[in-house]
Amino acid sequence: MKVTSYAVARPAYYDRNASSVIQTDLAVYAPHTATVRVTYTVAAGKKMFIETSSTLLQNSTAPTVAGLATSIVRLQNVALQFTDPIRSDTLTSAVLTTIYDKSLTGQTTLYAGEQALLITANSSTGGTVTHLCAFKATLFDA
């Protein structure tokens, strides 16, 4: 008698046509309104685990008037609802003495149509700020 098992184990996500997605925006920017520097959208039939992300800010040259500078990693669904799981902010005019950095490790899932965005903003007057936003993810068959 032939015995057939219907409980075939599904391969782990990293064995389902997986590939690594790394996106980084590292630059020195003058004051600017909030701007998306990077967007990555998960295509149909795929899922993506955000495994690690980081943000950093450092004043490069002093502003005349310090405003809020920020680096953000944003996750957004198809309804454009979003969460900012990690962001760095500074309101100081001190130059180079302090780095405002954060990092996050986990396994946040993005489904088809959802997006990871890297955003910067700086409302100071004058000066420049080094912004870093980055994430590393694994994209795989859903």
Partner 1 sequence: MIIRMALIGNGTLYSPFTIDLPSFSGVITNETTGRAFVDVPASDVSPDVAAFVAAYPTVDLTTPLPVPFPQSLANAWAEFLARRYDLGTAKWHPVVF
136 touches partner 1 (CB under 8 A): no
End-to-end CA distance of the chain: 35
Return the number of the residue (28 or 94) whose C-beta is nearest partner 1. Answer: 28
129 touches partner 1 (CB under 8 A): no
90 touches partner 1 (CB under 8 A): no
138 touches partner 1 (CB under 8 A): no
Return the number of the residue (1 or 80) whose C-beta is nearest partner 1. Answer: 80
Signed CA dihedral, 31, 34, 87, 105: sign only: negative
Would you report the helix, strand and coil content of the chain in percent, each value rounded to 5? 0, 65, 35
Both tokens of 62, joined, read 């002093």
Return the number of the residue (8 or 44) whose C-beta is nearest partner 1. Answer: 44
Phi, psi of 108 (to 5 degrees): -75, 130
Comparing CA positions, the residue from 107, 96, 3, 97 lying closest to residue 51 is: 107
Element (H, E) at 73: strand 69-76
Return the number of the residue (35 or 125) whose C-beta is nearest partner 1. Answer: 35
Contact between 69 and 90 under an 8 Å Cβ cutoff? The reply is yes
Considering only the stretches 1-9, 50-58, 107-115, 124-132, report the one whose residues sit in contact with partner 1 under the rule CB under 8 A. Answer: 107-115
112 touches partner 1 (CB under 8 A): yes
Identify residues 22-61 at the interface with partner 1 (CB under 8 A). Answer: 23, 25, 32-41, 43-45
The residues that touch partner 1, with contacts defined as CB under 8 A, are 23, 25, 32-41, 43-45, 70, 72, 78, 112-113, 115, 117, 119, 121
